Structure 1
Amino acid sequence: MRTPTALLAGLLLAGIALTAPAPATTPAAAQSLTWGVAPSSPDGPNGRPAFEYKLDPGATLTDYVAITNHSDRPITLDVYASDAFTTEQGGFDLLAATEEPVDVGSWITFETRTLTVPSTSRLDVPFSIAIPDNATPGDHPGGIVASLAATGTDDEGNQVSVDHRVGSRIYLRVTGELQPVLDIVDLSVTHDGSWHPLRGGAVTANFTVRNTGNVRLTGQPQLAVDGPLGLARRSAVGDQLPEILPGDSYRTSVRVDGVPPLVRLGVGLSVEPAAVTDEVLDPAPAAVTREVDLWAAPWPQLVILLLIGAGTWLVIAGRRRRRRRQAAQLEHAVAAAREAGRAEGAARAEDGTAVAAREPARTTD
């Protein structure tokens, strides 16, 4: 695993981290010492923001680096070149001093690695670049470092060695066929639903962009989400990718909000590669896309439908019970009326018989 520090995190990499070289103040272990590293000529710094070259395989070159001591006492520094890589945070960093370079850092040599720079003065130090005959075409990033090893203590009071480094970037391009290619790997997509039935949820794509070509690249990711037949399409543009060096990668994410849970969602992720500078790449890099399907169950809507269904069933069942009760009451009333009518008829019949028994018998002459 590549690490940006030799023995302890928190090194000074002002010249590496910034596009323009600047003096850097060391931590408390050497707080009175400051120095700077910048591209130079035999006569002093020439305003270049970085060491930039375009060379053929087998070519050689001599250049200069200015190492300036801003302190009021001499400083002894270790000067060397190393390979660069993209950090997890998307930064530009160099291999630790304990790691041997295998690329551009191994192609650069100094007459001596240890230099003593007098107080408030500058040394314009020559170095040589020798491109191997079999060097691969494309970008070979690195840096030239002036470091100072110091001893300090950690939070637990233990004595540790810290490598304070200041450097300047190297952007070397070996001539030949360029292959500006980015790839998307380790893609995972999730849907986080909202319990608000009208608000929709969020679809988040987490992925790694890998530079599989030979040119340092950046790019712009974009995420699109839609339902069946392209319904309710939503999209979002992610943050601009940092500079990704050849062979390195950067993990990031893009989120789309307000996505309706239409059961089955189609998700399309694309990254449009672009040159880090205003350079026109030939061939032009092609966009890379990935498409996946995603289940998005509409739980809030289903709950609402269940509640509506349950409420409707309760209303219908209540109406049926009332109708049955009303029918039973009506049937009971009809039966009671019939019984009352029968009783009244029987009573009238009994009254008629009694009247007939009381009338005297009539005779005829």
Structure 2
Amino acid sequence: MNLKSITISAALLAASGVAASAADQIRIVGSSTVYPFTTVVAERFGRTTKFATPIVESTGTGGGFKLFCESAALDTPSVSNASRAIKSSETALCAKNGVKDIIEVKVGYDGIVLANAKSAATFTVTTKDIFLALAHEIPDASGKMIPNPNKTWKDVNSALPNMKIEVLGPPPTSGTRDAFQELAMEGGCKQFPEIKAMKKKDKKAYKKICHSVREDGAYIEAGENDNLIVQRLQANPTALGIFGFSFLDQNTDTVKAAKINGVNATFDNIADGSYPISRPLFFYVKGAHVSKVGGLAQFVTEFTDDKASGDEGYLSERGLIPMSSAERTALRDQVLSRLSK
């Protein structure tokens, strides 16, 4: 950490210490993808500071924002983890309920994988294959949209295994689901010229086609617990699952990721942007809680420090893809400046 950060942290420590009696424990909700990273930081924070270990709950990104935006009261969450940026509708809900000063903190990057049991067939798919497998409607030979008729992966692409399409994935409240629909499904959807042309004429209809997931059993909502999806893949070798790279990284002895558009899901490929299904991760902080919730400023400072989220930080050991040094430094200075106001 640079001298500026150290100076700010010291000042924040003194300021928050005075107000610690207003609320003595940080409460964090939100994304299941960011959850394991936040838990690691929270546990270290509890061990190495005078503050209580923060309470961290995995509620999904959308569910987290609902809780976060309920009120500015001190008995509501101070932090909401998110595997996508906050939506304008969520910002409006927050403002309506008095949560007006929101500090966005970018954590790093993560990839979304399509994985299956290590004992099963290895998949190599394109985003077009993913769209044709999971979309609610797809174009027929004439370009007319029809209910998805594909039952097996071989129906989608003759080069793929003759296996039933059975994909375990997150529910609509999940930021991972949002990102998967945008990056993987829309990525494949727009490869059809007749659909891509629709984007300029009718953006709402275009998004509905590209983002709507089939509801006939091929896609199975498996909740917000990514570890549960990993366990179910072990029990069912014919199924595939959608979850963050960090969970793949922690379970390489039991699951493996499909190659997407010819690119493997690896730390380096996600970091350099060549892996097609990658996204930034965030958490959001209530500015009004910074001076009232004991340790909140220090927790944010810990999370954004290089020892946590840097190239050699302890979160990279858990699968977090760090930002570049320049981006990290600029973000940290900006966030610490907001915290000190």
Task: Report TM bin, short chain.
Answer: under 0.3
TM-score (ref. length: structure 1): 0.21
The structure that has the greater radius of gyration is: 1
TM-score (ref. length: structure 2): 0.22
**Structure possessing the higher relative contact order (Cα contacts under 8 Å, 6 or more residues apart):** 2
